[in-house]
Structure 1
Amino acid sequence: MSDGIYIVRNDNTLVEMRSSAFESEDLLQELLATHPSLIAGDAIDPTNPRRWLLIAREQAVPGEEGGFGRWSLDHLFVDQDGVPTLVEVKRASDTRGRREVVAQMLDYAANGVVYWPTDAIRQQFERTCTASERDADEALREHLGRPDADLEEFWRSVDVNLRAGRIRMVFVADVIYPELKRIVEFLNAQMNPAEVLALEIKHYTGQGLRTLVPRLIGRTAEAERRKGSRGSTSPRPELTHEQWFAQFAEERGPGEAGAAQAVYDWWVAQGAKFVVSDAQNPTLIAKLIHAQGECWSAKIKPSGQVVTYLRWLVWSPPFDKVEARREIVEALERTFGQRYGEKAASGEPSVPLTLLQEPEAREKLFAIWQSLVDRIRAGA
């Protein structure tokens, strides 16, 4: 079978295009950056084709809080719903295109969802636009297809998607070998809400012309069946706060529900806004608005735990310093008799709502939080 395609010109002459390797991996990367529509957005979501906004080539991925970049991802895109899309490119001649690249991508994803601050992603996008002499806001509105688009809301959706692990991982190569194909199809069927795909871009040349033919791999019937309504990378309809509390009270009882409502009311009084996550078991998450910006500060879990969200305070002075976060951990331990591990200062130390049903107990927690909020607002 001939590995070629044929183009018929307007003058009825035939151009034979033969399959050929890309001259370099950098060329393939450049083509994706310049022509992101090659990433088969209509094949990924036929009912609502994905559109791609390039955040950066060679996007740094930190391996620890406050890190500057342990790894370098080939491309970071976001789609029109703010879903981060990680793209790693390998030519067929690179033997790592089979298994090692999978571990590499999982490293990027596992660390990116924890250590990528959305503000840094936004700043990187602005630098990318500056380098191409484009206005970042105009480029984003064009991507969204709405001149009146709420840009702040879009970046908030990127933040929520990252926090929920709602990302897309795409392996790109001129040949996707069977070994990688099987791994991708298996991972895509198993993982949720993350999506794992491979894109084979066949390269043909002839008579000074270049033709690219993308083919998507990973959207199997089994993957679609397993993901079902959960598998869409578009956020599912969000519960209202009232619906969340009604569901919580039914599952946890009136005592814990009353304590949860008091926690909610306290954060609202501090100027926080709440988001209901779209996980299978939704969490109620507080975002604190302050003069220096905003930060995820606490959450109420459906399992009956109230979390101080230290892992998301690492970009809010003075809690960018581990010593300041340890003070919060120690205060929680002393007050509620909890014992947290060494990683709690960069994690999610929690207090059971069963310990917060009495007003006196809640006031002790609120005092710890008040100190936290006051220091964030003071930036020291």
Structure 2
Amino acid sequence: MPIAIHNNTTTTKLPEEPFKNEAELQACIEQSPYLLFSESESSVTTVQREVGLPSAGILDLLVVDNEGLPVAVEVKLARNAQSRREVVAQAFDYVADLSNLTFDELDEIVDGSLTGVLTALVGPEQFPGLRKICATNLRAGRIRLVIAVDSAGEDLIRIVRYITDHSDIDVRLVSISKFDNGKILVPRLLVVPVSDALSSFGRINSARKVDTTFEAIISAYNLTADDKLQTRGHGSTYRAIYFEDWPDGIHYEFMNKPDWVSVEIHLESDEAAPLAPMLIPFAGQELMPAIILEWDQKWRNRGRLLAKITDYENPDLVASAMRELISRTKPIIDKYYAKR
């Protein structure tokens, strides 16, 4: 489809041009990764192009945002012979491989570029905190997947939309059109997760209400929390709390779901896994009146302790629940790591 450029007296019609090959489209995204995101989202920077992963092969592009969220980008042209199912399967293989890497392992693969990019995004003083968030996101499998194409058929759109509608996986489909020998690039977000669409456009009032309440919960908690216990990040579905003396794979977290908000402690690395026997006995205990602790052994194959709160319109209640969870469990964890 052509585009038109208007000035005061004339109109110039520019026809869409094909990309020469996938490498050209990759290069365009490498230089301008913001094409893959809406204006309301966090700023992003390219870490490296063609990243050699241990098992999945060569990832076209690795990007990261200023909240420490890794983004895997798979680039395909419509004329590529690969089936649409193969494209999606390959893209998910990249994400699975990334989630098995530690921050240091991934940083070594990209020759230190991950450290360099995160430092450039927030500065040397804030880098340690952002590094910890990025490391936790990797271990937790919180990795955004972007399939970038020049055009997409209905079959690919249907597959990606089904995934976004029926899972919590953060995947999107973006097309980029080329004009005037690549001087003009026009992106289109073909498929985005429902939560992203709601946060960008506010289509459903109830979703906006939950998000507003979640922000109130975070504010209520941070208002009385020590500086070292402040939440990190600006995500709409979760906020984490880290301790510098603990391994990357263990942290507290507020989780935002449509029907409830939870306070949790996550074990997301092999180094954190031995804590499970110490936390499991808390399951079934009353954290606060009518708020019961649960143990979820399936979480990242290591486990998490959580309490779901349906009365999420009471920010002080949820904030108090997190403080109580920290009060009960932190001394046990501190004691364990002090002996090591």
Normalised by the shorter chain, which TM-score bucket?
0.5 to 0.7
Do the aligned partners of 2:267 and 2:302 also contact (CA within 8 Å) in 1? no
Q: Provide, for residues 248-275 of structure 1, a one-character-per-residue CA deviation record: whole Å limited to 9, x for no partner.
A: xxxxxxxxxxxxxxxxxxxx9xx64651
Tell me the residue number matched to 2:45. Answer: 53
Amino acid across the alignment from 1:122: D
Q: Give 1:156 shift.
A: 0.8
Amino acid across the alignment from 1:187: I
Q: Tell me how far apart the structure 1 counterparts of residues 28 and 13 of structure 2 sit (CA, whole Å).
A: 22
Q: Tell me how far apart the structure 1 counterparts of residues 238 and 177 of structure 2 sit (CA, whole Å).
A: 35
The counterpart of 1:28, out of the listed 25, 33, 41, is 25
Do the aligned partners of 2:174 and 2:188 also contact (CA within 8 Å) in 1? yes
Q: Give 1:296 shift.
A: 4.3
Tell me the residue number matched to 2:224. Answer: none
Tell me the residue number matched to 1:196. Answer: 171
Amino acid across the alignment from 1:284: I
Query: Cα 1:158–1:211, aligned 2, differ >3 Å: closer, same or farther?
Result: same
Do the aligned partners of 1:41 and 1:51 also contact (CA within 8 Å) in 2? no
Query: Cα 1:53–1:220, aligned 2, differ >3 Å: closer, same or farther?
Result: closer
1:84-123 counterparts in 2 under 5 A?
Answer: 84-96=70-82, 98-113=84-99, 115-123=100-108
Q: Tell me how far apart the structure 2 counterparts of residues 100 and 88 of structure 1 sit (CA, whole Å).
A: 12
Q: Tell me how far apart the structure 2 counterparts of residues 284 and 209 of structure 1 sit (CA, whole Å).
A: 48
Tell me the residue number matched to 2:238. Answer: 236
Do the aligned partners of 1:284 and 1:300 also contact (CA within 8 Å) in 2? no
Number of matched pairs: 257
Tell me the residue number matched to 2:58. Answer: 72
Tell me the residue number matched to 1:213. Answer: 186
Tell me the residue number matched to 2:4. Answer: 6
Q: Give 1:191 shift.
A: 2.2
Q: Provide, for residues 24-49 of structure 1, a one-character-per-residue CA deviation record: whole Å limited to 9, x for no partner.
A: 1100001111111211232xxx3xx2
Identity of aligned residues (%): 24
Q: Tell me how far apart the structure 1 counterparts of residues 121 and 268 of structure 2 sit (CA, whole Å).
A: 26
Query: Cα 1:84–1:31, aligned 2, differ >3 Å: closer, same or farther?
Result: same
Q: Give 1:182 shift.
A: 1.4
Q: Tell me how far apart the structure 2 counterparts of residues 40 and 150 of structure 1 sit (CA, whole Å).
A: 24
Do the aligned partners of 1:90 and 1:97 also contact (CA within 8 Å) in 2? no
Query: Cα 1:21–1:159, aligned 2, differ >3 Å: closer, same or farther?
Result: same
**Structure 1: gaps of 5 or more residues:** 64-69, 130-135, 242-267, 289-293, 307-346, 351-365, 375-380
Do the aligned partners of 2:61 and 2:74 also contact (CA within 8 Å) in 1? yes
Q: Provide, for residues 80-108 of structure 1, a one-character-per-residue CA deviation record: whole Å limited to 9, x for no partner.
A: 11111111000111142622111111112
Q: Provide, for residues 135-165 of structure 1, a one-character-per-residue CA deviation record: whole Å limited to 9, x for no partner.
A: x64x534423xx4641111111011112222
Query: Cα 1:202–1:238, aligned 2, differ >3 Å: closer, same or farther?
Result: same
1:31-42 counterparts in 2 under 5 A?
Answer: 31-42=28-39
Q: Tell me how far apart the structure 2 counterparts of residues 195 and 302 of structure 1 sit (CA, whole Å).
A: 32
User: What SS does the corresponding residue of 1:175 show, helix, strand or coil?
Assistant: coil
Q: Give 1:181 shift.
A: 1.0
User: What SS does the corresponding residue of 2:178 show, helix, strand or coil?
Assistant: strand
Do the aligned partners of 1:197 and 1:219 also contact (CA within 8 Å) in 2? yes
Query: Cα 1:106–1:301, aligned 2, differ >3 Å: closer, same or farther?
Result: farther
Q: Tell me how far apart the structure 2 counterparts of residues 305 and 104 of structure 1 sit (CA, whole Å).
A: 41
Tell me the residue number matched to 2:158. Answer: 182
Query: Cα 1:71–1:277, aligned 2, differ >3 Å: closer, same or farther?
Result: farther
Query: Cα 1:37–1:91, aligned 2, differ >3 Å: closer, same or farther?
Result: same
Q: Provide, for residues 213-265 of structure 1, a one-character-per-residue CA deviation record: whole Å limited to 9, x for no partner.
A: 1011223658858x966999556244799xxxxxxxxxxxxxxxxxxxxxxxx
Q: Tell me how far apart the structure 1 counterparts of residues 25 and 7 of structure 2 sit (CA, whole Å).
A: 26
**Structure 2: gaps of 5 or more residues:** 199-203, 215-233, 283-300, 305-332
User: What SS does the corresponding residue of 1:123 show, helix, strand or coil?
Assistant: helix
Do the aligned partners of 1:237 and 1:278 also contact (CA within 8 Å) in 2? yes
User: What SS does the corresponding residue of 1:96 show, helix, strand or coil?
Assistant: coil
Quick check: which has more Rg, 1 or 2?
A: 1
What TM-score comes out, normalization by structure 1 length? 0.56
